[in-house]
Each structure stands twice: as structure tokens, then as C-alpha cells.
Amino acid sequence: MIDLSPELVTIIMMGGVFLGVLTGYPLGFIVGALALAVGYTVFGPQVVDVIYSRIYGIMTNYIILAVPLFVFMGVMLERSGIAEKLYDALYVWFGGLRGGLAIVTVLMGTILAATVGIIAASITMLTLVALPSMMKRGYSKSIATGAITSGGCLGILIPPSIMLVLYGPMAGISVGKLFFGAFLPGFTLSALYVVYIGLRSFFQPHIAPAVPPEERKISFFKKTWMLLIALGPVAILIMSVLGVIFLGIAPPTEAAGVGAFIATVLTIVYRRFSWRVLKEVAIITMRSCGFIFLIVTMAVAFTAVFLGGGGREVMQDLIMSAPGGKWGVFAIIMLIILIMGMFIEWIGIVYIMVPIITPIAEAAGFDILWFSIMVCVNLQMAFMTPPFASGIFICRGACDPKLGISMGDIIRGVLPHVGLIIIGLVIFTRFPQIITWLPAQMIR
């Protein structure tokens, strides 16, 4: 063993993460290697026991079972065909507005967020369903892809969100409260996106023209019926999952099981179910969860060594010394999360940073539920800020090459939405009740 000071442990481990990410190696391998190397140096052979106890505690946490169930639910729902019917229904209602198809895309992303909860699935569905229609009608590539990416990324914030399921145990907060604390912020961001698209389309009609009247000639009764038919299954799924949590009937893990079952039933009802679909959904779920749990276990090992080596105290002293009192501390934390989100997968940020910043937030006097949702809102930007920007890469990968969409088009499209997220953070800071009101209404 070597007697490393807490300051040196902090520099080696945090610096090692950033340098390791720049090499291109997967985050799980980087943080796992750092945990073993620094841990063996500080603790000697006992590091195995330190890491094992932390990993065992997280992986046997009952709430973690909700992750594969929510992933299964989202992937199965993607195969059900609900997205196409929902888009058709919203299309006839809003297509006549300037920017109407982009607004429909954001609204559809918001609805899917409350049912799918996986941004890869949401962005892919929106790209395949909405992008060809917008390109056919002369929409700007940037405004179309910006609406798709930002609307699809709402799935990681609006419940049922895998991010919130993983965040809760790390911060010692009820996942149910996190779910309902994230609802209104998610809808607020959606509203900001819609207002931005509407205003920009009004002043620049050539970038998002209205759909010609002859393409949307349909009676009021028929389009109302289309909307009800499209929203009915979505409402059933939302009530089956989030309704039972809000009413205190079941915790998130059991609600996730119900959601997975209902998504399968809806796929059967829409005649999209087959044994081949079930096999594909199961394989995708296993691959996704394997990726998630690899990062989770390695990040937990990293955090165990970091905390054991005194890193949290060093970070706490550094952040708490920021000028400006508690709001200076808050600004520093938000800036750190923003910068990390540009380079590191969000799962790693949650499992590395949450055990560090949560006690700091408590010491500064913040409401932990409010603070946690603010961190999650901040992490929305991680999916849209290069160079990591997984949302941008998912959108680009799902685009039909014939449409000629470039990475530059998508980046130009999402940057205004990143600014809107920052505006959202300011709004939630000024009006914290947007986050705290709904969880207070939950039936215990």
C-alpha cells in the first residue's frame, strides 16, 4: 500500500476519468480500471472487499429490477405501431399551423416519454415516422432534426425514466417522488420547445411551412375519433404504471412489471406481436441492461474507492468554498455536471457524482428532491452537447441517407433547445414549486 493523500486520490481519479474518456475506451472499463489501480494502492488486497460490498448493495437493491422491466416495456411498445397512429392523429390537428409538424413531433416525443422512457427508442421512432414527412413538405433540416432530438430526449426525464430509477437509490430518495417531481419540469421543457418552434416558424415561414389544406381535409368528428383511438392505449399504459405509483397502490418495480405486461398486450391487440418480435425485444433488453449494469457496477466500484480515499471531503471543501454562498455552490455543481455531460455517459455521471454532490447539497440547505430533479434536467443537455451527444448520434444513425441529413444540421437544430433547457433551469430555480408540488400530493 502507498499512503496517498485525499487530494492526490481526487486528482488521479477525476483526472483519470477525463483523460480515459478522451482515449475512446468505454467508460465502464475506464472507471473500473481506475478503481482497481487506485484502490489497490490505497487499500491493498482489501480493496476487493470494499468494492464487492458496494456493488452487492446496489445490485441487490429491489428497485433496480425496474430497469429491465422498463426497458422491455419501451422496446415492446416501439414494436406495437402506436407511434404511427399517434403521429397520424396529431398530424391532422396541428398540420395546418406553421411549424405544425415540428410541434407535432415534440408533442409526440412528450407522449412517448411517458410510455417508453428510453431515448434511443423515442428518437428512432420520431426519426422514422416524422422526419420524412417534414422533409417532403420543405422543412428546414435543422428545425426538423432539432425537434426530433429534443423531443426524443424528454424520455430520459419524463417518467417512467430509467435515469430516475437509477438516481433514487444513489441519493436515498424515493423513486416514486422523483417520478412525480420530474413530470412538470418535463412538460415545461416540452412547452418551451413548442413555443420556440411556433415563434420561429411564424417569423420565418419558409423553414416550416403549413401543410396544404387539401392534405388534411377531414371532418372534426373523424379527427377527434382518430385522436381518442390513438391516445386511449397510451392513457391505459400511463395509468397502469404511473397511476398506481401516484395512488400508492404499488411501488415502481411492480408498476414496471405491469407496464411490461400492458405493452405486450397492446402489441398483441395491434396485431404486431409474434414470437420473433418477443425474441428481438428480449435480446435488445438483455443487451441494453448488460450495457447499463456494466457501467453501474464499475462506477459503483469507482465511487467506493473515491469515497474511501477521502475524495468526497476534498470535493466538498472545494465546492463549498465557492463565492456566492449556497447559490454559488449550486452554480458550480451545475457547471460540473454540464461539462461532464459533454464527455461522459449519463449513467457514469449519476453513479460517480450523485454520492458526492448530494451531501454537499444537503449541507448547503437545498431540498434534495428539488436538487435531484435539477441535476436530471441539467443532464438533458448531455444528450445534445457535443462531443458525446448521444441523442445527436442516434438521430443521425436513424436518418434515411436519401434525406441528406448531416451532423452539422442536427447540431444546429439542437443548440437552441440546449439554450431552452438553461432557461428551464432558471425557471425551476425561481419557482421550485414546479418540482415539489406534485410529489407532495402523492397518496402514501
Separation CA 311–CA 359 (nearest Å): 13
Task: For the beta carbon of residue 282, count every other beta carbon within 10 angstroms.
Answer: 14
Do residues 248 and 444 touch, judged by C-beta distance below 8 A? yes
pLDDT in tens, 180-218: 999 999 999 999 999 999 999 999 989 999 887 766 677
Angle in degrees, 0-180, between the axes of helices 311-320 and 6-22, rounded to the nearest 10: 90
Q: How far is it, in rounded angstroms, from Cα 300 to Cα 302?
A: 5
Task: Specify the residue for cell string 406534485.
Answer: 438
First-to-last alpha carbon distance for the chain, in angstroms, is 49
For residue 215, the model assigns a pLDDT of 65
Residue 42 neighbours by CB distance under 10 Å: 21
Give the CB-side neighbour count of residue 399, counting CA atoms within 13 A.
25
Report the 10 Å Cβ neighbour count for 125: 26
Residue 310 backbone zone (phi > 0: left; psi -120 to 50: alpha; other: beta): left
Q: Are 395 and 127 in contact (CB under 8 A)?
A: yes
Residue 117 has pLDDT above 80, yes or no: no
Query: Residue 99 corresponds to which cell in the numbers above?
Result: 411549424
Question: CA-CA distance, 50 to 59, in Å (whole number)?
Answer: 15
pLDDT single digits (tens) 369-416 = 999 999 999 999 999 998 888 899 999 988 988 899 999 999 999 999
What is the model's pTM? 0.90
Query: Angle at CA 426, nearest 5°, toward 155 and 432?
Result: 80
- 7-34, pLDDT tens digit by residue? 999 999 999 998 888 887 888 889 999 9
